[in-house]
Amino acid sequence: MISVLTIVRNRAGHLAQLVEGLRRSICPPAELIMIDMASDRPIALSDTDFPVHVLRLATEHLPLAEARNLAARHASSDNLLFLDVDCIPMRALVGTMDKALEQTDALICAEILYLGPDDARARWDEADLAARGKPHPVRDFPPEGLRAEPNPGLFWSLAFGIRRTRFEALGGFDEAYLGYGGEDTDFGFRATAAQLPLLFMGGPGAFHQYHPSPDPPLQHFGDIVRNAQLFRDRWGFWPMEGWLRQFEAMGLIAIAPSALQVLRQPVEG
């Protein structure tokens, strides 16, 4: 059996569609573990055919690493499927990921198709979303089955599966990464360093629901700069380099070979 894990803050509409996708699953999950990262309103869900457990985690930052680890600690299944709250799982994703993890000890990413602003806002049909969804321009997934991905930097936390014992052996996501940014890339590199294969799974995946995303995400400026420095000290190169270069072009930071200097804080608004 497989547990589905998600973390959420103030994304009630997206969460409702994620749960609807799970309701339509050919093989329902053993449970849904949901970490509420201090939403403005309590999480409210209609009835499901599978257990739902909601835990609240309130911190100053957006505690992505801590929240995912908390979800994993409360999961009861041998296999784990992490889904970001803005993802709608396809009908076959839960069962296919569970079977893949039963057969293969690996870190497995499912393909994501990106939806437009007007897609999946109310009632939706999976075939229609599949026709509208756009694949990621860099991550190349096979039409079906599993493909080894040699670049751990391409791991993404939007939709991935892992055995619970492996997740625990890796120590989960490193909570030294506070707030937003870098924790997922670090997890991919640590998995590869532990000789856990990174695999891309073709076939059933998930649909990414549209939401506005500031580029660069200035609201997470402090987290990104701090976490990028931590990553650089550990792995010897800069993560999130596109954002860092944008910060530099805006006169917010100076990038040296091994250190970042904050020149000024971004102006809010």
**What number of CA atoms fall less than 13 Å from residue 14's CA on the CB side?**
20
DSSP 24: T
Beta bridge partner(s), residue 202: 145
pLDDT in tens, 24-42: 999 999 999 999 998 888 7
Comparing 71-85, 98-112, 117-131, which segment has the lowest mean pLDDT? Answer: 117-131
pLDDT in tens, 136-163: 999 999 999 999 999 999 998 999 999 9
Domains and CATH numbers, the chain: 2-208 (3.90.550.10), 218-262 (no CATH)
The Cα 246–Cα 23 span in angstroms is 41
Cβ–Cβ contacts within 10 Å for residue 119, how many?
18
Give this prediction's pTM: 0.95
Instruction: Give the mean pLDDT of 216-237.
Output: 95
Residue 120, Ramachandran bin (φ over 0: left; ψ between -120 and 50: alpha; else beta): left
Calculate what percentage of the chain has a pLDDT beyond 70.
99
Q: Which pLDDT score, from 0 to 100, does residue 24 have?
A: 96
Q: Which pLDDT score, from 0 to 100, does residue 268 have?
A: 66
pLDDT in tens, 103-124: 999 999 999 999 998 887 778 9
